[in-house]
Amino acid sequence: MKRKLNHLLRYLKKRFSGRQVFDEKVRAYLTLRCNLNCEFCVNNHVDGGKNLTNYSLLGASEWIRIFNSLERDIVITGGEPFLYKELRNIVQRVNRKLEITIYSNLTVPIKGDTSWLKRKGLSIYGSYHPLYSNNKAFLENIKILKQLNVKFSIHAIDVMGKEKLEHICKENLGDEIPDITIDEDQREIYDCASKASRKKVRCSRKIILIAPDGNRYQCVSRMARQVDPFENLANESFTTARRIVICNDYGYCAPCDGVGETSFTFLNEGDNIEK
Ligand code: SF4
Ligand code: SF4
């Protein structure tokens, strides 16, 4: 009931303000390792980004404690979540009232006991990367999800022209996935990632983005650069979803940092508005 009410309030806020509204979910990057190497991957193309495979990883128990204490629905993302060895453990043990969405490229073979994927409230948001992925592995995993009746949807990023991409999807996936969604390449949409120039801004975001080591960051860019973390949720209390920072890196944000309940106010060099 509470969830439905929140959903309605978010819808109305978005409908009448015309702006994107925070979905109240936690975004957890269990690992930033990935088995693919997509040219458009935001994680690997942040200016000044560190080697993300070196991030230290929290264990399943620490993640479960964080999720249960936050009491918010969960988006598990990355990197490729199926490379995180204790993914199953987290899904099975986290508070059953919380919904979980796993963002995955669906090319890591799903092996062994698959019953955990049938958990109530679990869904998969799959991304298909025909230029970078193994088609056979992808289709095998789709088959498993269908057999288990797991709720899933698939999208692809338009990096080659919509018509061409649709044609490739149809050729590779046949009738298995007739309703694939084609999304715009975010690199071309957001001014904050244009790399035209670096500007100073007051950056206000409502987001809960947790890195593999438990640190919360304002954005994917700061997580990739490993600079200016907020609290570490493995051993500190959650503060608040809305955070406001002064940042000199506008223009060099990751494309996805422009998404969501985000606003930027341009500042002059001398300005130093209180955070
Ligand atoms: S599958 Fe996703 S996380 Fe992995 S390289 Fe491609 S875009 Fe990045
Ligand atoms: S402007 Fe905001 S989103 Fe962009 S890099 Fe700075 S803190 Fe991150």
Domain borders along the chain are: 21-186+207-241
Cα 235 to ligand 2 centre (Å) = 25
Say if residue 136's pLDDT is above 70: yes
Predicted confidence (pLDDT) per residue in 75-89, tens digit? 999 999 999 999 999
Say if pTM beats, i.e. exceeds, 0.85.
yes
Mutate to test the pocket of ligand 2, among 222, 227, 261, 265 (most ligand atoms within 8 A of CB): 222
pLDDT score at 8 = 60
Cα 218 to ligand 2 centre (Å) = 7
Q: Which two tokens stand for residue 163?
A: 């018509």
Mutate to test the pocket of ligand 2, among 220, 253, 262 (most ligand atoms within 8 A of CB): 253
pLDDT score at 275 = 47
CB atoms within 10 A of CB 38: 18
Averaged pLDDT, 102-120: 96
Predicted confidence (pLDDT) per residue in 192-229, tens digit? 999 999 999 999 999 999 999 999 999 999 999 999 99
Mutate to test the pocket of ligand 2, among 20, 198, 216, 247 (most ligand atoms within 8 A of CB): 247
Say if residue 38's pLDDT is above 60: yes
Least confident of 10-24, 38-52, 169-183, 249-263: 10-24
Give the percent of the chain with pLDDT over 90: 67
Atom 5 of ligand 2, nearest CA residue: 253
Atom 8 of ligand 2, nearest CA residue: 219
Least confident of 27-31, 102-106, 166-170: 166-170
Cα 3 to ligand 2 centre (Å) = 30
Cα 217 to ligand 2 centre (Å) = 10
Band of the pLDDT at 30, cuts 50, 70, 90?
very high
Q: Which two tokens stand for residue 191?
A: 């001014």
Say if residue 159's pLDDT is above 90: no
pLDDT score at 240 = 97
Cα 221 to ligand 2 centre (Å) = 7
Least confident of 16-25, 145-154, 193-202: 16-25
Averaged pLDDT, 6-26: 70
Say if residue 99's pLDDT is above 60: yes
CATH number of 21-186+207-241: 3.20.20.70
The larger pLDDT score, comparing residue 231 to residue 176, is at 231
